[in-house]
Amino acid sequence: MSEHAAAPALSGAEYTQNAAISLALVLSAGIASGLTMALCTMDVTQLQVLRNAGTEDERANAAKILPLVQQHHSLLVTLLLLNACVLEALPIFLNKICTSEAMAILLSVLGVLVFGEIVPQAVCTKYGLAIGAKMAPLVQLLMLVGTPVSYPIVKLLDRLLGHEVIMTLRVLVLPGLVLVLLGAGACAACRSR
């Protein structure tokens, strides 16, 4: 005999409600994961360059994202808290609609892995600027709503790691960057130095 008592039978409406909540949680995990990849890997300097010298779309998108990325720790903590809450809640609702805990765990792991991590991160790696710009209002709302929980963590990170995250190009890297920008064959003189 199993120590886990069988879950009470759900009505059709309860089953549909729990399935819909589970689906919404997986999609929310995907949004949080994708936005973490899209926004937290962007550099303030790169966004400033795009805002000033990119295409029309790049300029508009960079202008929307820049205020978020400038609050790097707040952005990171907000998206990770959202993802953690969603991932903790998912098994609760899946367990209500699955015939066994093993099935709930399997669906949770597969759903989160495929639709909550792999697909969103792959898409946001390729289209991060556009997706981040479209989702900027939602992210701003999440940052505002999550402030009571995220603020102490953000302040701790700011104190321990510094407030700004700035990409710095070492002097040794700059010639390599020039080679990439000009093309490998276009700067033979640079290599001879």
How would you write the pLDDT of the chain (193 residues) with one tens digit per residue? 444 545 557 788 999 999 999 999 999 999 999 999 999 988 888 898 899 988 999 999 999 999 999 999 999 999 999 999 999 999 999 998 988 888 888 988 999 999 989 999 999 999 999 999 999 999 999 999 999 999 999 999 999 988 765 555 555 556 666 666 677 555 444 445 4
Q: Count other C-beta atoms under 10 Å from residue 163's C-beta.
A: 13
Distance CA(94)–CA(147), nearest Å, equals: 29
pLDDT of residue 7: 53
Q: Is the pTM of this model over 0.85?
A: no
pLDDT of residue 2: 46
Q: Measure the N-to-C terminal CA separation of the chain; round to a whole number of Å.
A: 77
CA nearest neighbour of 18 among 106, 115, 98: 98
pLDDT of residue 98: 87
Assess contact for 39 and 65: CB atoms under 8 A: yes
pLDDT of residue 185: 52
Residues 6+ apart with CB under 8 A from 28: 82, 86
Distance CA(36)–CA(89), nearest Å, equals: 19
CA atoms 23, 29, 33, 38: torsion sign = positive
